[in-house]
A and B are shown apart, each in its own frame.
Chain A
Amino acid sequence: MTVRIRFFARFRELLGTDIIVDAPKGKVLSDLVKDVASKNKEGYDAIFDEKGTFREFVILMQNGKRVETTAAAMTRVADGDEIAVFPPVAGG
């Protein structure tokens, strides 16, 4: 199945955006983001801590609905899903 991942702000600079992933059925959201982020260590480290847990400030969305990062390991993705991963921006 095909899932689209969009990164924003700093995550986008490190990992790109609009990444189409061919994911196996039953894939959970956290693993999907990890797989894609693993392609760039700096990008991975920006999103995950040393234990592989989402950093506290990371915001995840599945098809426009927020998914708490703590629930991402239990959230399955489906064909055609659009996943957004972004940090809050801070400047003013």
Chain B
Amino acid sequence: MMLFGDVGQERLKKANIFIAGAGGLGSPVSIYLAVAGVGTLTVVDKDIVELTNLNRQILHYDRDIGRKKTASAEEKLRAINPDVIVKVIDTTIEESNGSQLVGRADGIVDAMDNYPTRYLLNDIALEKKIPLFHGAIRGFYGQATTIIPGKTACLRCIFPSAPPKEVFPVVGVTPGFIGMIQVNEVLKYLLGTGDLLANRLLIWDGMTAHAEEIAVVKNPACISCGAGHTSKNAPAVKAKNVPERKKK
């Protein structure tokens, strides 16, 4: 790849990215990370492919209806790039297993559909000192930000309270759009180049084709990364293989 050079491509090959979810965001995210040559992708999902998923979950085809999303994802990602190690885990990400599932990943992509699990991923990212690439969607709307533990606001600083649960339609291009932003962030992070969406929340309004960003700041009283933090998730385990960001 001319853009990265051999050194950059080798960096991607050595990287291990944890993708939480193989749905609307997880599909484009995992496909583009695979074609970029990110060496190890771990994809976790507990669901079965349903007909209503197919307008946006492009990892899964009509013939996959009724199949585990993890099995479908594994097959497609291996076919897309046989050089990538694809690990799939058919489970629910919970407090009891989350840290172990993420293991020694170099970063977590948030492709979840609920805030309780997002907060858990945020805590795991803080504990392991690895980035969390956040994305979320609804209808024609989406948001994304990159959380670098110790350097940026964490997810709870930005969203101290979860919005209420609701069932809503999603147009397939929205997770495609937000997923691409997440992948773009992962690649820049791994390559140590560009400016990350750090302390910036990107808001996408597909109805008006308008993207804007909000500056976000650490909350000193944050219960996940600030003074409100309890000892429950205190141990700070330094993850290995975290590439150093280039100094500017």
* A-B pairs under 8 A by CB, number: 80
Q: A89-B142, A90-B162 are in contact. Are A65 and B215 (CB under 8 A)?
A: yes
Distance between Cα atoms of A88 and B161 in the complex (Å): 9
Q: Report whether A10 and B166 are in contact in the complex, using a CB–CB cutoff of 8 Å.
A: yes
Q: Report whether A66 and B138 are in contact in the complex, using a CB–CB cutoff of 8 Å.
A: no
Q: Report whether A92 and B160 are in contact in the complex, using a CB–CB cutoff of 8 Å.
A: no
Bin chain B's interface residue count. 35 or more
Distance between Cα atoms of A13 and B140 in the complex (Å): 11
Residue A56 contacts which of B110, B141, B161 (CB distance < 8 angstroms)? B161
Q: Report whether B138 and A91 are in contact in the complex, using a CB–CB cutoff of 8 Å.
A: yes
Which residues of the other chain, A, contact B158 by a CB distance below 8 angstroms? 88
- The residue of chain B having its C-beta at the shortest distance from the C-beta of A66 within the complex is B214
Residue B163 contacts which of A12, A64, A65, A87 (CB distance < 8 angstroms)? A87
Distance between Cα atoms of A59 and B161 in the complex (Å): 10
Q: Report whether B159 and A57 are in contact in the complex, using a CB–CB cutoff of 8 Å.
A: yes
B131: interface (CB < 8 Å): no
Q: Report whether A91 and B26 are in contact in the complex, using a CB–CB cutoff of 8 Å.
A: no
Q: Which residues of A contact B (CB under 8 A)?
A: 8-10, 12-13, 17, 55-57, 59, 61, 64-66, 84, 86-92
| 5 other A-B residue contacts (CB within 8 Å) besides A57-B162, A91-B137 | A9-B138, A57-B164, A59-B214, A61-B214, A90-B163
